[in-house]
Amino acid sequence: MRFILRRLGFFLLTLWAALTLNFFIPRFMPGDPVDALVVRTRGRVSRDALEQMLTSFGFKPDQNVAVQYVDYLGHMFTGNWGRSIGQTLGEPVTKLIGGALPWTLGLVGITTVLAFVLGTLIGTVSGWRRGGALDAILPPIFVITSALPYFWVGLLLILVFSQGTGGWLPANFNYDTTIVPGFSPGFVGSVLSHAVLPAATLLITTIGGWILTMRNNMITTLAEDYVRMARAKGLGSRRIMYGYAARNAILPNLAGFAMSLGFVISGAILIEYVFNYPGIGYLLYNAVQNVDYPLMQALFMLFTVAVLVALLAVDIATVWLDPRARAKG
Amino acid sequence: MRPTRILAAAVIGALAVTATACSETKHKGGSDGNDATQSSGPKKKGGTVTIANTAGQTWTCNFNPFNPAVYNTSIGFVYEPLIYVNALKNQAETPMLAKSYKWNADKTQIDFTIRSGVKWNDGKPLTAKDVAFTFNLMKRVRSTDLYALWTTAGLRSATASGDQVTLKFDKAAQPYFYAFAHQVAIVPEHVFGTGAAAAHPDTWVDKKPVGTGPFEVNPCSPNNIQYTANPDYWQQGKPYIQKVEYPAYLDNGPANLDLANGKAQWGSQFIPGIKQFYLDKSPDNHTWSPPVLNVGIYPNLDPSHKMSSNLKVRRAISYAIDRDKVSKIGVGGQEPAANQSGIVTPTFDTYYDKAAVEKAGFDKPDPARAKKLLGELGYSPSKPLKLKIITITGYTDWDASLNVIKQNLKAVGIDLTVQDLAQQTMVGKLYTGDYDLAYYNQQTSGPTPYYELRQMLHSANTAPLGKNATSNYQRYKNPKVDQLLNDYASADETKQVEIVKQVAQYMIDDVPVIPVVEAVDWFQYNTKDIAGWPTEDNPYAQPAAYNFPDTGQVLTHLYSKSAQ
């Protein structure tokens, strides 16, 4: 229990530090929201009016920084994240994030879990049957594909399955833009078909890492005394493989998995751009491009919280999986 | 549109190479989109137009015409101006919500006669009071005065009486006509004068816009805005097109793909390798991108920047650059070569003094002359002058152009270093004057070259180093040029042409900016089903979908061939 409490304290401290950085870093970045708006409105519009406009939407450059900081910390907790002062001028930040988050969680979240589960399974089996047919084929292939850049794989898939085949699979958007969203079979089908290519891209490029690390962990674990002991006891090979070898081999992978879960929320920016998929990744990109402080702050805060929560969860999971951690706590 | 080219270039590059390899049919592309069916008679209604113009963001479903982030999906489609001024046809005017207007002698007062029988799309009639209300709203809430009418332009009052609206100014206001008659969208008093809209007209979210325009929003989602024809539109029988789809493309790559395969008919962005990637894909694909502005080198003229403020250096640079080559190699011929006088041709040919450019020797590259000028300063190809130029990272066409320029300059004795900076950093340096040379263009055009020249050259638009200059980034100050630009306001049309020519002469003599190529209105269009597009022969509006209120003109000209 003390272990958990200590982790919680650490969690809060890190969160505060991250939020503080999150407040100051954008303000030290080059660029100014008014300049960005001047550029975006093609200089057509009077600078004075734009400054006033940003002020109406909550931009307060002249306010005391300490006051701003305290306000900011309060707002981060109350969910009062303000309005966008970037490209989506005036749109409440919560609404923008609310609109984009489900798409990223759905696409990147499911794919990340899928890649981890599949990768770990393949890694376990190929490590167990070291030198077998599966071990000879899959790991090398996926190690190569995992080294390919996201956007290149994405483009290749678009070329083959969308352009080359005359439009089997859609290459952009998250659903057919002519459909009005709702729980109709057409809409759900459209969402799924639009997710195939980006999901495949992610899967192809991320699964290799899991396979390789799991396979190597398995091989190390298989040489351990407790595995030999289990064999000597005459336990079934399935039991040894999953209960003795894989359970231990997976431990080092968990932290990595937690991290990647945490990063799900920041999305796969390149994938979202290549496939015109309106998730969180492109939202962040645009926020930075347009010096959109409120949106940037809310997004970075979410990323930080997501990673920290994932790490906390993995700490707890480790305690549950690994008796040694319990003993020390 | 220009944003986010980083990936676009990679995407298009990769696709173009492979796509051409497997395409069998080769067709001649070009701007011969006019077919026999295009005549000016009334057309039957029907058809859908899909626009592929990168928004870089999902739609917020706000159509408040006072919000500069959304005005190009609202003005032209739903809201309309008083008079449409065509920048491509020497300021040809089309009366819109105002039937006519009259200036007083010294151009300090203008009387608009408001068209009768125009209805807002909620059924209420448009009145002169709505028009006066719109202008007075901008006085009451300063952030809605986007064109600084009540401050810079000197607007003093806006009053309605009968079907007349009178605007009074404290000085000659002719140059602002383009802003207040053509750009300002008229809004209904019964919507903007009550409740939340009246309290905060700038931040109010206008979900269901009540306008007079040819289209209504129906419905809008973050991914796509659908517009349907306004059945009671005041232009009898128009619009012919019954539906417009405007999907929110996040990046140029996907938008260009949809244009190439015919899913979208109206494109408004740079397509690298347009011939293979777009024109060769279908005989129905066309492009016509008229030039409207200059892209060029902005030298820092402040004396503390010794080399860039030296006239000889600037002239040498201008002589050395092979503008045709930059156009061909840098932007694939899609943006024509500019000239030192700063007059964009052929769009503004009326104002172009070819003889003056020839006389100064700027009509063709002259490396020998450049070498001689640099020699006088003690520089040569073996002992080169080192200069840095800043540009925006990800603008691949600009990088390619600068590569050509770099070679041109190397040959005459200038060693140019290109610094690619993030857009925010680059414009920050540009605005505050923290650079030697910068590659950039003015962002906005007008119906005559005066607008761009004024922005570039008037000393009111500059600021001391370290302070933000609004558009005269190079810090050019010349009282004679200021005087000429000021005189333009009250001059008649002949005199205005004369003034522009004189200002252009200062561009040639002082080389305050070195124009390289001409920025264009990006425009691609598909004629498979849709006809009536603006073309080189019939430039009835600026064709890019990001131009408002020009979109309104284009949308009321388009028709579906299959519906006829």
- Residue A1, pLDDT score: 67
What mean pLDDT value characterizes chain B? 90
> Which residue of A48, A151, A282 is in closest CB contact with B10?
A151
Helix (H/G/I), strand (E/B), else coil: B237: coil
Nearest by CB: B254 against A151, A172, A180: A172
Among the residues of B414-478, which ranges form H helices? 423-432, 449-457
Mean pLDDT computed over A239-265: 84
User: Average pLDDT, stretch A304-328?
Assistant: 79
Q: What is the pLDDT of residue B17?
A: 39
Average pLDDT over residues B238-243: 95
Please check the confidence at residue B472 and state whether its pLDDT lies above 70: yes
Q: Which residue has the tokens 């000597």?
A: A232
**Is the CB of B468 inside 8 Å of chain A's CB atoms?**
yes
Residues from chain A that touch B223, judged by Cβ atoms under 8 A, are 173-175, 177, 278
Best-predicted range by mean pLDDT (A278-292, B127-141, B143-157): B127-141
Q: By percentage, how much of chain B surpasses pLDDT 90? A: 79
Q: Cβ contacts of residue B163 below 8 Å, gap of 6+?
A: B113, B114, B116, B127, B128
What are B204-229's pLDDT values in tens digits?
Answer: 999 999 999 999 998 998 889 999 99
Quote the tokens at residue B17: 């190479």
- Using DSSP, how many helices (H) and how many strands (E) does chain B show? 18, 20
Q: Does B22 touch chain A (CB under 8 A)?
A: yes
Which member of B56, B251, B254 has the closest CB to residue A87? Answer: B56
Q: ipTM surpassing 0.85, yes or no?
A: no
- Geometric angle at alpha carbon B559, from B116 and B117, rounded to 5°: 5
Q: Cβ of B205 and A30 within 8 Å?
A: no
Q: pLDDT tens for residues B304-322?
A: 999 999 999 999 999 999 9
Q: Across chain A, what does the average pLDDT equal?
A: 84
Q: Is the pLDDT of residue A81 over 60?
A: yes
Nearest to B120 by CA among B100, B110, B134: B134
Amino acid at B513: V
Q: Do B424 and A163 touch (CB under 8 A)?
A: no
Residue B42 pLDDT > 70: yes
- Give CA A324 to chain center in angstroms: 30
- Please judge whether B22 and A164 are an interchain contact, meaning their C-beta atoms are less than 8 angstroms apart: yes
Q: Say yes or no for a CB contact (<8 Å) between A171 and B257.
A: yes
Check CB contact under 8 Å for B69 and A47: no
Confidence at residue A291, expressed as pLDDT on a 0 to 100 scale: 82
Does the pLDDT at position A42 exceed 90? Answer: no
Question: Which two structure tokens, joined as six digits, stand for A306?
Answer: 């997501």
Residues with Cβ within 8 Å of B294's Cβ and at least 6 positions away in sequence, in order, are B338, B342, B344, B441, B442, B452, B513, B515, B516, B517, B518, B519
Mutate to test the interface with B, among A29, A42, A169 (most CBs of B within 10 A): A42
The whole-angstrom separation of Cα B356 and Cα B506 is 11
Q: Please list every residue in chain A whose beta carbon sits closer than 8 Å to the beta carbon of residue B257.
A: 158, 163, 171-172
Short-list B49, B37, B34, B31, CA closest to B561: B37
Query: What integer pLDDT is reported at residue B177 of this predicted model?
Result: 95
**Closest approach of chain B CAs to the CA of A150, in angstroms?**
12
Q: Does the pLDDT value for residue A77 go beyond 90?
A: no
Residues 269-308 of B with CB under 8 A from A: none
Q: Which helix (H) or strand (E) holds B304?
A: none
Given CB atoms, is B254 within the 8 Å cutoff of chain A? yes
Q: How far apart are CA A146 and CA A201, in angstroms?
A: 10
Structure tokens at A249: 């081999």
Which residues from B are below 8 Å from A159, CB to CB?
15, 18-19
Average pLDDT over residues B391-418: 93
Q: Does B521 touch chain A (CB under 8 A)?
A: no
Q: How confident is the model at residue B25, as a pLDDT?
A: 33
pLDDT at B11 over 60: no
Contact A316, A258 (CB under 8 A): no
Chain B nearest CA to A15, separation (Å): 29
Mean per-residue pLDDT, A188-208: 89
- Higher pLDDT residue, B384 or B5? B384
Beta-carbon separation of B428 and A175 below 8 A: no
What's the average model confidence in pLDDT over A216-222? 90
Cross-chain Cβ contact B7/A151 below 8 Å: yes
pLDDT at B29 over 80: no
| Band (B194; pLDDT cuts 50, 70, 90) | very high
Q: How confident is the model at residue A328 (pLDDT cuts 50, 70, 90)?
A: low
Q: How many CB atoms lie within 10 A of CB A137?
A: 11
Whether B24 contacts chain A with CB within 8 A: no
Give the span between the Cα atoms of B384 and B365, in whole angstroms.
19
pLDDT the model gives residue B14: 41
Q: Is the pLDDT of residue B22 over 50?
A: no
Residues of A in contact with B254 (CB under 8 A): 171-173, 274-276
> What's the count of helices (H) and strands (E) in chain A, helices before strands?
17, 0
Q: What is the pLDDT of residues B531-564, one digit of tens each?
A: 999 999 999 999 999 998 999 999 999 999 999 8
Joined together, the tokens standing for residue B544 give: 């890019």
Vertex A321, ends A319 and A327: CA angle to 5°? 45
pLDDT band at A43 (very low <50, low <70, confident <90, very high): low
Distance from CA of B68 to the nearest CA of A (A): 7
How close, in Å, is residue B378 to chain A by CA atoms? Answer: 37
Q: Do A41 and B68 touch (CB under 8 A)?
A: yes
User: Mean pLDDT over residues A120-126, rounded?
Assistant: 91
Mean pLDDT of B269-286: 92
Q: What is the pLDDT of residues B67-87, one digit of tens each?
A: 988 888 999 999 999 999 999
Is residue B33 scored above 60 in pLDDT? no
Average pLDDT value for residue range A73-99: 87
pLDDT at A22: 85
pLDDT value at residue B39: 54
Using an 8 Å CB-CB cutoff, list chain B residues near A39. 423, 427, 443
Q: Across the interface, do B60 and A90 touch by the CB < 8 Å criterion? A: yes
CB contact under 8 A, A29 and B261: no
Q: Do the Cβ atoms of B68 and A45 come within 8 Å?
A: yes
